[in-house]
Amino acid sequence: MDNILPVILLGFVALIWLIIFVFLLRVLIVGIRSRSWSSVKGQIAHSELRRISRAETASLFDNYRTTIIYRYNIKGIEYKSVNISFGDLAWHLLGRGLRSRFNAKKITEKYSPEKFVRVYYNPDNPKQAILEPGIMHFHYLLTFLIVIVMGAFLCMILLKLIYA
């Protein structure tokens, strides 16, 4: 009965690990599939760079957040999206969308207002669109590291529980 709390805690940690892993795996799979999506001409509706102070993020440096909104039309229906790439989506969720000034400025210059762009959309769900198909290589590494580190951590805890 004394060992029940560690087992429950281990189960909770394993569940959180599984949720994160499934999310990242889904981003990888959909990102890879996006390479074969249909594309259409779109236009940048809004491009913004906003400074986030060190006090707001509790970091050593100021960070920047970019907001890119683009419009595209499929079969007479206008859609809007903010996703640049699937790697970018995961980066936003994991890193709160914060970037260095250099990277943020590069993105807002690349996707300046009124600029025409190629929009890649999911033919089965036209609301799902991106500007850069595929995924960033960063996500292969991130998924691998999360699986290895969390798997090793869970195995270590499990061994301690077994031999305690």
Domain count, the chain: 1
For residues 74, 125, 132 and 101, what is the CA-based torsion angle, rounded to 10 degrees? 100
Tens of pLDDT along the chain (164 residues) come to: 566 777 777 778 778 878 877 877 887 888 889 999 999 999 999 999 888 777 666 667 777 888 899 999 999 999 999 988 876 655 555 555 556 777 888 889 999 999 999 999 999 999 999 999 987 666 666 766 777 787 788 778 777 776 76
What is the domain extent for residue 67?
4-162
pLDDT of residue 97: 56
Q: Give the tokens for residue 149.
A: 């580190």
- pTM, full prediction: 0.73
pLDDT of residue 118: 98
| Beta carbons of 70 and 80 less than 8 angstroms apart | yes
Within a 10 A sphere around the Cβ of 147, how many other Cβ atoms?
A: 15
